[in-house]
Structure 1
Amino acid sequence: MKKLITLFIILLTLNVVGQEVARVEPPNWWAGMKNPDLQLLIYGKDISKTDVVIDYPGVTLEATTKVENPNYLFIDLKLAEDVKAGEFEIQFKQGDKIVDSYTYELWSREQGSAKREGFNSSDVIYLITPDRFVNGDTSNDEVEGMKEGLDRDYNYGRHGGDIRGIINSLDYLQDMGFTAVWLNPVLENDMPESSYHGYACTDFYQVDRRYGSNEEYRELNEELDKRGMKLIMDLIFNHCGSEHWWMHDMPMSDWINNYPDMKITNHRRTVNQDPHVSEADRKAMVDGWFVSAMPDMNQKNPYLAKYLIQNSIWWTEYVGLEGIRQDTWPYPDKNMMSDWTKELLVEYPNFNIVGEEWSLNPAIVSYWQKGKYNADGYKNYAPSMMDFPLQNAVAEALKNEESWDGGLMQIYEMLSNDFQYPATENLTIFPDNHDMSRFYVQVGEDVDLLKMGVTFFLTTRGIPQIYYGTEILMRHDGSEHGDIRADYPGGWEGDKVNAFTGEGMSDAAKDMQQYISKIQNWRKSADVIHHGKLMHFVPEDGTYTYFRYNKDEAVMVILNKNTEAKTIKTDRFNEVIDGYKSGKEIISGNTIPDISEVIVPAKSAVIVELNK
């Protein structure tokens, strides 16, 4: 009998000791958030067999939810308005015995964090693929225990770029006139191969160690703040990586769509707007996997939805972000996306969110923007969207021959669709990005056309974004993503070409660098470009003229696609230029004493500040 009792005690002890907290997410929170509700995901062996006890002034345990998997608990807390920052114990008990505990921290919010200004039309964004920009810390090129190591010879391999390299390059970016930085995802992607791009997250609360640390990410934003610059984080709500830690032990059977029988999405993004759509097609789009290595998360699950919303708020507060770029915007559940944008902007009213809806139809893109009145009653609260329709129109306009409806007319006609958007000034505009051929390649590696396109994007309505390397004529032979996202010259020790110092650069690349720098540094203080109205005139004879203006200022921009100089008589533009007598051309620095006519050199653009 004694042996049986002793065995029972041993088994009971083993069962009790088995409850160990492996993860608590979010790992900390802040006192003073506008939303008093906080939901913690607790993960640990048989953690659901415990009872939770919390005793801290201002923190109320509202509910503890046990789910299908006994290794998970979801704890709902309510934080009083006057709760103080500090530490408190979350105790996990069986009967009267505490089997484990976790010290949870409430931090103080930095002064002004809720009122920080998001990126806007006064900014120019520099988009960086971190692995391919600058290797500032070679000690993290190989990280023990991570599945993929360094392979610079492989276009889809890890090349070693990191956050330290970006920090080291901020003076260059500031001197170039950039005011904001958007990084492709930096969170952990511990995948077996091709993990450099960052879009297969395996831990939503951890910076990939091959890029650096959470602390270095925060340091990056601190350094940007010192320069009056902003940081935009790339997030993905639609999918995670197949090696995400929870994929090996999921909380619930509906955490991932179409699991374990994976189905690839049909990519028919218009199911979100189509009044004739079948439910089968809608589900195939929204619930399908983007690719086989990226499981499709089910945002209709309220616990996953809460997890993702809190994760974005956590990073915003922890790092001090000024914006979020959301990948694959139309693929997650659209009602959850509406809830997310609304909740995030409650905490940060001046914040900005830009979504990727890769459609060339303005009606589809505008559906998602804050303030849009949609026929189906759907409301979203994202202030910005990526303007893919305009990007395509500009690329085609510069490549195509001039005709009644081709060439520069394609820009004019696309901008005429602006009535569909609630706020065109908040659209993010760009010549290219990490997912498409570089603009230089799109326009046939014609430097003059590249300059015209960049000038347009830096002076028309919206928030311009430039992809790293555009300023130095980066190109590519192949069309694969790994080719487009090539290493930035000068980012690695031993590079023969160094874009930071000019060593080994061609004269054409140096000229392009100076060209963009001049326009962007002028643009920093050009309020009429930031906030002025846009008026454009029908293209004529291979030229396109438009104005940015307000009641006190006007800027005239003329694009000339012709292979000879053009003299533009400006009487056609009197409704804007009436009262203005002279001007200064920004790129050349030349004064124009009489603006009744303007000479535009062959295949070029001019930017003219008008004077009364």
Structure 2
Amino acid sequence: MKLNIHILLVLFISISVSCKKASNPTTTTEIVSNVKREIERVEPPNWWIGFKNQQLQLLVKHPNISEAEPSIHYSGVSIAKVHKADSPNYLFLDLHIAENTKAGQFNIHFKYKDGKELVQTYSLKDREQEAAKYQGFNSSDAIYLITPDRFANGDSSNDINENLKEKTINRKEDYARHGGDLQGIIQHLDYIEQMGFTQIWPCPLLTNDMQESSYHGYAMTDFYQVDPRYGTLNEYKELASKAKEKNIGLIMDQVANHCGNAHWWMQDLPFKNWINQQESFENNKPLNNSNHRRTSNQDLYASKRDKKEMAEGWFVSAMPDLNQRNPFMANYIIQNSIWWVETLNLSGIRQDTYPYPDKTFMSNWARAIMNEYPNFSIVGEEWSTNPLLIGYWQEGQKNKDGYQSHLKSTMDFAMQKNIVDAFNEEEKWDAGLVKTYEGLANDFAYASPKDIMIFPDNHDMSRIFTQLKGDVPNTKMALSYVLALPRIPQIYYGTEILMNDFKKPGDHGLIRSDFPGGWQDDAVNAFTGEGLTNTQKDMQLFLKKILNYRKSSAAIHHGKTIHFAPFLGTYFLFRVTEEETFVHIINKNEQPISIDLKRYAEIGLNGKTLKNIVTNETFVWEDEIILNQRGSLLLTTKI
């Protein structure tokens, strides 16, 4: 598109700059022959053409960069505004990327009054796939949650990095680094696929340059860098692409609420309100941690003090609380999320500590992502056993305060607790099972129950085998029930082989123990089965059969759910489509019991043959069924 001189002049004059106008002719394109990297840091490190949102805000970090005047000479790219920060070492550049802009490289020139000039080459890339092809996860999926440092060590050469603060490997210490990495996950994708999982959710893989306990990843010190002890960005991409070849999606664990106190910007914060309680931090005054009163987000009567302490308190003292009310921080977080979606072709994001950041920002964050990727999935962590709080955050919920979320999925801590309580209930008959029955009956509180993530355990709580006191039949019933519900199920690595934390229940380091066989000198190998006990092998096979059946079960994916109140220590749940009826029976009786099947006549199964998906045995649904032992029974009309 050609512009006459008058229009160019008007455009030039209208550009808004914090303290001075920026020179930015855009009608000619500067040819970049040599890539230049003269600026300390520019983030995002690259971008793409073809987004609905044509605005991009660059964070530029360099000594005294605020004294420089930036300019760009690339057709379709213009500087709309230049913002100076409170620190002289930052500039924030608002770029406009026109719809017809071509992918390529261009230089950003930073010219000082004394004639000195710094140049940074920047790249705009073509997108690898159309937005519609970014397919999220749903109730047809099963997610495998992995703590990367504890899963498998595929490349021992990256175990220690001398440039990072924690320099040791010690597998005997629960809170030390153990050496698991990206290659370890890549090398065992066959195992994950064969088990029947269709999505992988690794805990954060970005740089966590903390003095200790850096293995968990949630105190990030660089939001654009893969932790070199896990591998490289190319290896992260390799994981995504090789998983995709096996029809396995990749979910990224992100944190919008906080960073680690060793984050690179903590030594030179851009603005006076970049983090919450910044004045106290900079003056070495006491800091307040969050009161963790998450109900203040919904409470009609909550005091301003409680809301402030919840939103602005630090999660823990080592994790500075990011101030998303600062518009530059808000843009930074949103663009970072989109950068990773595009870089890795993600299928979803799991957002840590979802209720802790500014809730208006979280709505804007989710909306910005879903605007670019309409088929994408985001799940937020709301650790509450109150369904009202869980449902509050889900898109489509009609909240009394008018809050509108754009979050597809939340995490069902409420049902998780009901399941554990139900199977730990020592009273006879139906007292325990009623808790699961009534828990599922609470689905009327959710805008879309099938889009909520259910799980028996995760990286922050005791293993399900521990929670259920080492009872194998109860663990099987809990797991099979999770996989039968109208939900998106997530299974934590090692659950399939009854990993536990009996030695110190609830200890995070122990919960995140090494997966047997992930290290060359392991005596037990859960990937091959070598050294596993018969009980472990049986549980692994049990889950494998259910997960693989689940892949193709339309009834479990989207069937109508009908359940009957617990009766004589049993609980029947049905998932029904025209083509298939799936039956899940829980039996808590120690002795054989006969159940009258006429009680369930409305399902229409009389005279039909059903198959046991675990044993492949068939069974004709007639007048009664004899349940011989405590456990679960999974039946399908799909023979």
TM-based fold match above 0.5 = yes
For structure 1, which segment, 561-570 or 178-187, has the greater mean C-alpha deviation from structure 2 after superposition?
561-570
- How many angstroms does 1:215 deviate by? 1.1
- How many angstroms does 1:578 deviate by? 5.0
1:329-358 Cα deviation digits (max 9, x unpaired): 100000000001101001110100001000
- Give the one of 61, 83, 88 matched to 2:79: 61
Which residue of structure 2 aligns with residue 179 of structure 1? 198
Aligned mates of 1:201, 1:39 — CA distance in 2: 21
- Give the one of 135, 140, 151 matched to 2:158: 140
| Structure 1 residues 601 and 57: alpha-carbon distance in aligned structure 2, compared to 1, 3 A threshold | farther
1:213 aligns with 2:232: yes
Alignment of 1:188-227 (within 5 A): 188-227=207-246
- How many angstroms does 1:585 deviate by? 1.3
| Structure 1 residues 587 and 404: alpha-carbon distance in aligned structure 2, compared to 1, 3 A threshold | closer
Structure 1 segments unaligned to the other structure (5+ residues): 1-18
1:599 aligns with 2:626: yes
Which residue of structure 2 aligns with residue 311 of structure 1? 336
Question: Residue 606 of structure 2 contacts residue 622 of structure 2 at CA under 8 Å; is this kept in 1?
Answer: no
SS in 2 for 1:502: coil
1:390 aligns with 2:415: yes
| Structure 1 residues 454 and 447: alpha-carbon distance in aligned structure 2, compared to 1, 3 A threshold | same
Which residue of structure 2 aligns with residue 250 of structure 1? 269
Which residue of structure 2 aligns with residue 376 of structure 1? 401
1:142-183 Cα deviation digits (max 9, x unpaired): 112110021222110000000000000000010111111000
**Partner letter of residue 286 of structure 1?**
A
**Partner letter of residue 321 of structure 1?**
L
Which residue of structure 2 aligns with residue 130 of structure 1? 148
Structure 2 segments unaligned to the other structure (5+ residues): 1-36
Aligned mates of 2:429, 2:191 — CA distance in 1: 43
SS in 2 for 1:220: helix
Which residue of structure 2 aligns with residue 92 of structure 1? 110
- Give the one of 108, 117, 122 matched to 2:135: 117
TM-score relative to the length of structure 2: 0.91
Which residue of structure 2 aligns with residue 478 of structure 1? 504
Root-mean-square deviation (CA), in Å? Answer: 1.4
For structure 1, which segment, 559-568 or 155-164, has the greater mean C-alpha deviation from structure 2 after superposition?
559-568
**Partner letter of residue 438 of structure 2?**
E
Aligned mates of 1:437, 1:32 — CA distance in 2: 45
**Partner letter of residue 215 of structure 1?**
N
Alignment of 1:197-596 (within 5 A): 197-259=216-278, 260=281, 261=285, 262-402=287-427, 406-476=431-501, 477-479=503-505, 480-578=507-605, 581-596=608-623
Aligned mates of 2:38, 2:422 — CA distance in 1: 62
1:6-39 Cα deviation digits (max 9, x unpaired): xxxxxxxxxxxxx962100000000111111100
For structure 1, which segment, 397-406 or 232-241, has the greater mean C-alpha deviation from structure 2 after superposition?
397-406
Which residue of structure 1 aligns with residue 189 of structure 2? 170
Question: Residue 134 of structure 1 contacts residue 490 of structure 1 at CA under 8 Å; is this kept in 2?
Answer: yes
- How many angstroms does 1:191 deviate by? 0.3
| Structure 1 residues 113 and 163: alpha-carbon distance in aligned structure 2, compared to 1, 3 A threshold | farther
- How many angstroms does 1:528 deviate by? 1.1
Residue correspondences, number = 594
Aligned mates of 1:571, 1:335 — CA distance in 2: 52
| Structure 1 residues 65 and 498: alpha-carbon distance in aligned structure 2, compared to 1, 3 A threshold | same
Which residue of structure 2 aligns with residue 47 of structure 1? 65
| Structure 1 residues 295 and 356: alpha-carbon distance in aligned structure 2, compared to 1, 3 A threshold | same
Question: Residue 554 of structure 2 contacts residue 577 of structure 2 at CA under 8 Å; is this kept in 1?
Answer: no
SS in 2 for 1:203: coil
For structure 1, which segment, 113-122 or 183-192, has the greater mean C-alpha deviation from structure 2 after superposition?
113-122
| Structure 1 residues 611 and 348: alpha-carbon distance in aligned structure 2, compared to 1, 3 A threshold | closer
For structure 1, which segment, 30-39 or 578-587, has the greater mean C-alpha deviation from structure 2 after superposition?
578-587
Question: Residue 422 of structure 2 contacts residue 435 of structure 2 at CA under 8 Å; is this kept in 1?
Answer: yes
1:367-396 Cα deviation digits (max 9, x unpaired): 000100100000001100000000000000
- Give the one of 11, 18, 24 matched to 2:42: 24
**Partner letter of residue 188 of structure 2?**
S
Aligned mates of 1:343, 1:280 — CA distance in 2: 30
| Structure 1 residues 320 and 372: alpha-carbon distance in aligned structure 2, compared to 1, 3 A threshold | same
- How many angstroms does 1:570 deviate by? 1.6
1:87-107 Cα deviation digits (max 9, x unpaired): 011000124835201100001
Aligned mates of 1:214, 1:525 — CA distance in 2: 33
| Structure 1 residues 481 and 174: alpha-carbon distance in aligned structure 2, compared to 1, 3 A threshold | same
SS in 1 for 2:441: helix
Aligned mates of 2:624, 2:104 — CA distance in 1: 68
SS in 2 for 1:238: coil
1:80 aligns with 2:98: yes
| Structure 1 residues 582 and 102: alpha-carbon distance in aligned structure 2, compared to 1, 3 A threshold | same
- How many angstroms does 1:213 deviate by? 1.0
For structure 1, which segment, 402-411 or 337-346, has the greater mean C-alpha deviation from structure 2 after superposition?
402-411
